[in-house]
């Protein structure tokens, strides 16, 4: 792990020296010339980002990368995924090893002001919770005083955990691991009384335990975890492209355009739909893309709701409810600025 970080840092140094003077080609040009997108993904969180037995990748965050690739290349397969642990992800994005980080990463102020990133929006509204063994008979996280808690290091989780216990005047022992996998294994082995991460991750990890029925998720959500794709600062065109890919997905769901009916909807008279699919105006041009950029996204990857259902919701083994991730028209928080 340390070695990887050293390699990444040296790589970053080399790159920063490399791109010394003169104007650099924009990232979109570089990606187009290269012929594929490089996306930083989760090394293995089912539902969000997971390589399958055939070497393909599936998941909610993975599909977002595919949507960006579909907008640029009209081909969702033109993505190279790089698995990044929580610890390594920022160095990889800073150094330019990946074009885009789509890996359930929390949007915070310091990540934008101190680390040189921009978050393109919130693709998943999450919050931190606790997984504990049923036989402890706990009903609230406030009963965890004195407990040993396994946590993945280099995450906002680690900080929220400290805040929560400090704020409630309780003691605890943090046991930090570089990977979620090791942290969960330590919890399962009895080293810790609880495992903590974002609630979505808790449901996923619980499914992967040898005996999921032995553990329960406590009701408290102790933090706000707005997760979304992040890019490097300094390339507004690329930032816009990633941001509007996310908005196109949400707008498509709101307008009822999905992968199945997108060709049919092309005949629609609704001006919003016509603008989205590129029949009125040429909004793709400003993004450096063709007029049909959003059509390509929906055609190949589907809309926000389809991506959610397929990977996390009813169409997946996780069966996570839309909850606050429902559209604003349905009582949730997902809201996209209009395409016009």
Partner 1 sequence: MTAGSDGLSPFKAMKLRRHPALEFWYDAKARAILLQSAFVVAFVALAIFAFIDVRANMEARGIATDLSFLGKVAGFDINQSLIPYSAASTYGRAFVVGLLNTLLVAAVSLALATVLGFIVGFARLSKNWIVGQTAMAYVEAIRNVPLLLQLLFWYNAVLKPLPSPKQSLPLPFGMFLNNRGLFAPAPVFEAGAVWLVAALCVSLLAAVAMRLTPKRIKFATPSRAFFSGVAAALLLVLPLAAFVGAGTPVAFVQPELKGFNFVGGVRLLPEFVALVLGLSLYTAAFIAEIVRAGVEAVPRGQREAAAAIGLDRADADRLVIAPQAMRLIVPLLTSQYLNLIKNSSLAVFIGYPDLVQVFAGTVLNQTGAAVQVIFITMAVYLAISLVASLAMNLYGRRFALVER
CB of 117 to partner 1, least distance (A): 8
- How many residues touch partner 1 under the rule CB under 8 A: the total is 57
CB of 270 to partner 1, least distance (A): 41
List, in order, residues 6 or more apart from 150 with CB less than 8 Å away.
175, 177, 183, 184, 186, 187, 191, 192, 194, 195, 196
CB of 166 to partner 1, least distance (A): 6
The stretch among 35-43, 85-93, 195-203, 300-308 that binds partner 1 (CB under 8 A) is: 85-93
CB of 153 to partner 1, least distance (A): 5
Q: Work out whether 330 is an interface residue with partner 1 (CB under 8 A).
A: no
Q: Work out whether 153 is an interface residue with partner 1 (CB under 8 A).
A: yes
Contact 45/124 with Cβ under 8 angstroms?
no
Among 66, 87, 206, 300, interactor with partner 1 by CB under 8 A: 87
Q: Work out whether 19 is an interface residue with partner 1 (CB under 8 A).
A: yes
CB of 10 to partner 1, least distance (A): 8
Cα atoms in the Cβ-side hemisphere of radius 13 Å centred on 14 = 7
User: What is the rounded CA–CA span in Å between residue 106 and residue 112?
Assistant: 11
Q: Work out whether 26 is an interface residue with partner 1 (CB under 8 A).
A: no
Contact 50/42 with Cβ under 8 angstroms?
yes
Q: Work out whether 115 is an interface residue with partner 1 (CB under 8 A).
A: yes
User: What is the rounded CA–CA span in Å between residue 311 and residue 325?
Assistant: 14
Contact characters 218-237, partner 1, x per CB under 8 A: --------------xxx---
Among 42, 49, 62, 91, interactor with partner 1 by CB under 8 A: 91
Cα atoms in the Cβ-side hemisphere of radius 13 Å centred on 295 = 20
Residues 176-205 that bind partner 1 (CB under 8 A): 176-178, 182-183, 185-186, 189-191, 193
Residues 95-114 that bind partner 1 (CB under 8 A): 110-114
Residue 283 main-chain phi, psi, to 5 deg: -80, -20
If the CB atoms of residues 87 and 243 are measured against partner 1, the closer one turns out to be 87
If the CB atoms of residues 84 and 289 are measured against partner 1, the closer one turns out to be 84
Give residue 197's region: left, alpha or beta (phi > 0; psi -120 to 50). Answer: beta
How many of the other CB atoms lie within 10 Å of CB of 141? 23
For residue 262, the Cα-to-chain-centroid distance in whole angstroms is 25
Beta strands 100-101 and 172-177, pairing class:
unpaired
Q: Work out whether 159 is an interface residue with partner 1 (CB under 8 A).
A: yes
- Which pair of tokens denotes residue 241? 């492209």
DSSP string, 67-86: HHHHHHHS-TT-EEEEE--T
Q: Work out whether 94 is an interface residue with partner 1 (CB under 8 A).
A: yes
Residues of this chain that bind partner 1 (CB under 8 A): 1-2, 5-6, 8-9, 12-13, 16-17, 19-20, 86-87, 90-91, 94, 110-116, 144-148, 153-155, 158-159, 161-163, 165-166, 172-178, 182-183, 185-186, 189-191, 193, 232-234
């Amino acid at each position: 792990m340390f070695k990887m970080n050293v390699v990444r840092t040296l790589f970053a140094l080399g790159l920063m020296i490399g791109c010394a003077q003169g104007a650099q080609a924009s990232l979109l040009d570089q990606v187009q010339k290269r012929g594929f997108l490089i996306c930083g993904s989760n090394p293995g969180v089912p539902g969000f980002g997971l390589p399958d037995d055939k070497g393909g990748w599936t998941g909610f965050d993975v599909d977002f990368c595919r949507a960006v690739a579909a907008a640029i290349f009209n081909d969702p397969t033109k993505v190279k995924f790089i698995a990044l642990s929580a610890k390594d992800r920022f160095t990889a994005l800073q150094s330019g090893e990946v074009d885009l980080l789509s890996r359930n990463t929390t949007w915070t102020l310091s990540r934008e002001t101190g680390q040189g990133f921009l978050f393109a929006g919130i693709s998943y509204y999450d919050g931190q919770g606790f997984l504990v063994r049923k036989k402890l008979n706990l009903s609230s996280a406030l009963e965890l005083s004195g407990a040993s808690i396994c946590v993945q290091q280099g995450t906002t989780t680690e900080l929220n955990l400290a805040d929560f216990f400090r704020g409630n005047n309780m003691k605890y022992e943090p046991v930090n691991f570089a990977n979620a996998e090791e942290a969960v294994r330590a919890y399962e082995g009895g080293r810790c009384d609880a495992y903590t991460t974002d609630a979505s991750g808790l449901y996923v990890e619980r499914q992967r335990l040898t005996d999921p029925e032995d553990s329960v998720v406590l009701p408290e959500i102790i933090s706000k975890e707005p997760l979304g794709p992040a890019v490097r600062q300094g390339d507004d065109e690329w930032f816009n492209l990633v941001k509007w890919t996310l908005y196109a997905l949400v707008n498509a769901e709101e307008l009822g355009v999905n992968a199945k009916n997108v060709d049919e909807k092309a005949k629609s008279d609704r001006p919003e739909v016509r603008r989205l699919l590129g029949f009125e105006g040429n909004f793709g041009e400003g993004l450096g893309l063709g007029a049909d950029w959003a059509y390509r996204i929906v055609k190949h990857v589907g809309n926000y709701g389809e991506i959610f259902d397929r990977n996390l919701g009813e169409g997946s083994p996780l069966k996570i409810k839309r909850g606050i991730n429902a559209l604003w028209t349905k009582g949730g928080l997902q809201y996209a600025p209009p395409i016009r």
